[in-house]
Chain A
Amino acid sequence: MNIMLRSTLLFFCLFGLLSCATDESNTTTADDDSNPSAVDFDRSAMLEHWADALIIPGYDQWNTELTALQMAASDFTMNPTETSLRVVREQWITAYTMWQRVAMFEMGPAERSDLRLSVNSYPTNTSQIENHILEGGYDLTLPANRTAKGFPALDYLLNGIGTTDAERLAVYTGANGTAYQQYLSDVITDLNTLSNSVLTEWQNDYRTEFISNDGASATASTDRLVNDYIFYYEKFLRAGKMGIPLGVFTGTPEPQTLEAFYYPSLGNALFLEALDATQDFFNGTPFNGTGTGPSLASYLDTLNTVTNGATLSESINEQFVTARNAVMALETFKVEIEENDPPTTMLNAYDEVQALVPLLKVDMVSAMSIRIDYVDADGD
């Protein structure tokens, strides 16, 4: 209790310092968009931190992992063995996990290249994949092929085409093996092309564009990325990874819609990585680092947003912890859903994940005067 009190005091003291510092460094010029609140917060510094400490290093690492995946696949196709197949799979897991760190940043170059749906549309369409392999002549850049490529297609190609590695290897060395090898390679090349172009754009012009768009309006970088962040949390993390497979929206569980369906133990790990990534983004924790930086959390603290006696940033961080603990206690999602009717434990965990949505989508954005710019489409 004492320690907590002390650290809270320390926290507020630091806060005083910080806001003094920002007060001095941040002058509002006449042509700036109107500040959303009476309190000065240096959005530009936050944007710079996001770009340099989270987004660009994240894309960079993801790109590196995909390059390694391409090399592993190349080794495999030159010398297809169970061992070289396992190396590809291990690197697929690494790259897929790394993707969870950057999946939320769907703006600018990523949005233009439709990155998220190109990289991770699941469930993958296995008959579409088999058809492409059988007939050749496919163009993976076409939108209709988003369900036949990316990490979920690799999940099928590395895990789903047989029940043992011996069976899977037999597909790659069998009568039509060359076509399977080619398809595996093409899917990985497509991923590399996408990651390269997004990373390069961020490293070149887009970083400056992103940071300099530091106002407070619907088209400003902060407003847009915060919208993208919450949209990601709500639709892709909460609904995509848990809610839809659980049947939360339809009443019918659909385990076949799970991420990493053919490698069930990975599904939970991908979810947790994504949850960590969204919390790190909230706190401004640098990629592969510790601590915090200018972030949504420090923004809220500057605004001194308090709910139910705790600061909002504390409440949000506590809920992240609660949600993570609930999910960590689960069996693999597939087992939870297939062996429990209803899957009560996982539904309870889902509720804890869901509980973050109003904190972010209502409390946080209203404190920051950011307007949510997406609505549930009316379905056609």
Chain B
Amino acid sequence: MRIPFYYTVIFALFGLVSCATDDDAGTVNDPTTVATPEMYSFVRDGESTVSFSGQTTRIQMAEEMLSVFLDFDTTTEDLLLNMLSNENSPFSDPSLNESDKNILSKIAASEDYFSGNTAGSATVRNQFESYITSVISEVYPNTEQAAAPGVPGQISDGSSTRFVNGKGLEYNQAFGKSMIGALMLDQALNNYLSSAVLDAGNNRENNTAKITEAEASYTTMEHKWDEAYGYVYGNAAMPENPNTTIGEDDSFLNKYVGRVNSDDDYNTIAQEIFDAFALGRAAIVANDYELRDAQAEIIRNRLSLVIAVRSIYYLQQAKTAIIAENYGTAFHDLSEAYGFIYSLQFTRNTATNAPYFDAAEVDVLLNNVQQAEGFWEVTPEILDAMSATIADRFGITVAEAGS
């Protein structure tokens, strides 16, 4: 049953050869000629053609940022800002410092959404910088006091202690969950899976002729697709077979694909996403661009759904906690919801090629929970209304997503 992938490639190439001699280019696009590989493992001339080290690096940078975000005794504003732009060797891992990559330049930087919208991009980047400056100025000086409406400080969430601003928001949660949309999702869905990127310049011609990049084993198109893959699976224990540890490999998109997949209502989503990535990549090898784009649509749809489901899930968890008067728990859930809702502006509705909620609509949603006293005055009714708004737009139900 398990046929090593290179056989598939060989068969596919045979297909090509025979098609070419048939002089019937149409059969190349017959989807039945390309099978879904079980592994994301692609080889040419005995050499792997898969590469997404830049994505792995950025995920690890973001992980380290989260891990020090609340180190009140040692972390500074400069350190966090330097980590965002990878300047002045800010990371404890030397290989991250030596990398020429950074997070900031890839935030809200997709070809489809931001190449003609530098103002929008700047607004998003400012938001991330403001999470940093705000946590330093509002939360750090007030860690030894109890939080209250308008008063930043500590609040208990079960056995955990959370640190919130005057409106109840945990900046570290907002930062991390917003990153999922602005970096991972936006880059994957709206940049690397975009035909504007995959087919840029001579990419299609070169891929069809299997002309690889200089000193590389892959064609540019293959590499672009891999980079999208890397934003989901780049930190996986087994990157070629990542669903074995899905949800455990990072604190970002991978984690929440895993979380949504463990909801019985969505328990095939991780496999669907992986299969679409693998089949799309095989389609590129086989020069089947329609099949490739069909897989990109599946990925865009499913990964967007992950953001919606998690937004609703946390709103509903927060509702339960508010009813039980567990404010710390509620604020923690709301802080996660805040970041996921922020991330909605980077989702991709394949029917419109636009986000399910644009930046202005996201602002409207978030304003519901950022009135004068913020989370402190949020009601179950508000959270239900927000949940319904999101669920309706995605054509799902609050009940499915909320548990």
Per-position binary interface string of chain A over residues 128-159, scored 1 when its CB falls under 8 Å from any chain B CB and 0 otherwise = 00000000000101111010000000000000
How far, in angstroms, from A47 to B328 measured CA to CA in the complex? 29
Taking the closest CB of chain B, its distance from the CB of A8, in whole angstroms, is 42
| B262 and A121 within 8 A (CB) | no
Q: Which residues of A contact B143 (CB under 8 A)?
A: 144
How far, in angstroms, from A377 to B328 measured CA to CA in the complex? 14
Which residue of chain A has its CB nearest to the CB of B403? Answer: A375
| A142 and B159 within 8 A (CB) | no
| A139 and B144 within 8 A (CB) | yes
Q: Which residues of B contact A303 (CB under 8 A)?
A: none
How far, in angstroms, from A139 to B154 measured CA to CA in the complex? 12
Taking the closest CB of chain A, its distance from the CB of B314, in whole angstroms, is 10
Q: Which residues of B contact A112 (CB under 8 A)?
A: 325
Determine if A359 is an interface residue (Cβ-Cβ < 8 Å): no
Per-position binary interface string of chain B over residues 52-80, scored 1 when its CB falls under 8 Å from any chain A CB and 0 otherwise = 00000000000000000000000000000
| A114 and B144 within 8 A (CB) | no
Determine if B226 is an interface residue (Cβ-Cβ < 8 Å): no
Per-position binary interface string of chain B over residues 251-262, scored 1 when its CB falls under 8 Å from any chain A CB and 0 otherwise = 000000001001
How far, in angstroms, from A142 to B155 measured CA to CA in the complex? 8
Determine if B105 is an interface residue (Cβ-Cβ < 8 Å): no
Q: Which chain B residues (129-147) contact chain A, with CB distance < 8 Å?
A: 143-146
Q: Which residues of A contact B227 (CB under 8 A)?
A: none
Determine if B156 is an interface residue (Cβ-Cβ < 8 Å): yes
Taking the closest CB of chain A, its distance from the CB of B71, in whole angstroms, is 14
Determine if A378 is an interface residue (Cβ-Cβ < 8 Å): yes
Determine if A339 is an interface residue (Cβ-Cβ < 8 Å): no
Which residue of chain A has its CB nearest to the CB of B313? Answer: A378
| A146 and B144 within 8 A (CB) | no
How far, in angstroms, from A112 to B154 measured CA to CA in the complex? 16
Q: Which residues of A contact B146 (CB under 8 A)?
A: 139, 141-143
By size class, the interface of chain A is 10 to 19
| B159 and A146 within 8 A (CB) | yes
Which residue of chain B has its CB nearest to the CB of A143? Answer: B156
Determine if A341 is an interface residue (Cβ-Cβ < 8 Å): no
The residue in B144, B145, B155, B328 that gathers the most chain A C-beta atoms within 10 A of its C-beta is: B144
| A143 and B154 within 8 A (CB) | yes
Q: Which residues of B contact A378 (CB under 8 A)?
A: 259, 262
Q: Which residues of A contact B154 (CB under 8 A)?
A: 142-144
Contact A143/B328 with A117-B156, A117-B159, A378-B259 known, Cβ cut-off 8 Å: yes
| A144 and B161 within 8 A (CB) | yes
The residue in B145, B154, B262, B328 that gathers the most chain A C-beta atoms within 10 A of its C-beta is: B154
Determine if A380 is an interface residue (Cβ-Cβ < 8 Å): yes
Contact A121/B159 with A112-B325, A142-B154, A144-B154 known, Cβ cut-off 8 Å: yes
How far, in angstroms, from A112 to B328 measured CA to CA in the complex? 12
Which residue of chain A has its CB nearest to the CB of B314? Answer: A380
Per-position binary interface string of chain B over residues 307-348, scored 1 when its CB falls under 8 Å from any chain A CB and 0 otherwise = 000000000000000000100100000001000000000000
Taking the closest CB of chain B, its distance from the CB of A127, in whole angstroms, is 13
Partner pick for A143 among B155, B262, B325, CB 8 A cutoff: B155
| B262 and A142 within 8 A (CB) | no
Q: Which residues of B contact A121 (CB under 8 A)?
A: 159
Q: Which residues of B contact A117 (CB under 8 A)?
A: 156, 158-159
Taking the closest CB of chain A, its distance from the CB of B401, in whole angstroms, is 14
Q: Which residues of A contact B336 (CB under 8 A)?
A: 380
Which residue of chain B has its CB nearest to the CB of A114? Answer: B156
How far, in angstroms, from A117 to B259 measured CA to CA in the complex? 28
Q: Which chain A residues (355-380) contact chain B, with CB distance < 8 Å?
A: 377-378, 380
Q: Which residues of A contact B155 (CB under 8 A)?
A: 143
Taking the closest CB of chain A, its distance from the CB of B158, in whole angstroms, is 8
Taking the closest CB of chain A, its distance from the CB of B87, in whole angstroms, is 30
Taking the closest CB of chain B, its distance from the CB of A210, in whole angstroms, is 16
Taking the closest CB of chain A, its distance from the CB of B167, in whole angstroms, is 18
| B328 and A142 within 8 A (CB) | no
How far, in angstroms, from A141 to B148 measured CA to CA in the complex? 14
Taking the closest CB of chain A, its distance from the CB of B198, in whole angstroms, is 34
Which residue of chain B has its CB nearest to the CB of A219? Answer: B323
Taking the closest CB of chain B, its distance from the CB of A235, in whole angstroms, is 10
The residue in B156, B262, B325 that gathers the most chain A C-beta atoms within 10 A of its C-beta is: B156
A114-B156, A141-B146, A144-B161 given; 9 more Cβ-contact pairs under 8 Å: A117-B156, A117-B159, A139-B146, A142-B144, A142-B146, A143-B155, A144-B143, A144-B154, A378-B262
Give 6 nearest A-B pairs by CB, closest first. A143-B156, A144-B161, A143-B161, A143-B154, A142-B154, A144-B154
A–B pairs, 5, beta carbons within 8 Å: A114-B156, A117-B159, A142-B154, A142-B161, A144-B154
Which residues of A are interface residues toward B (Cβ below 8 A)?
112, 114, 117, 121, 139, 141-144, 146, 377-378, 380
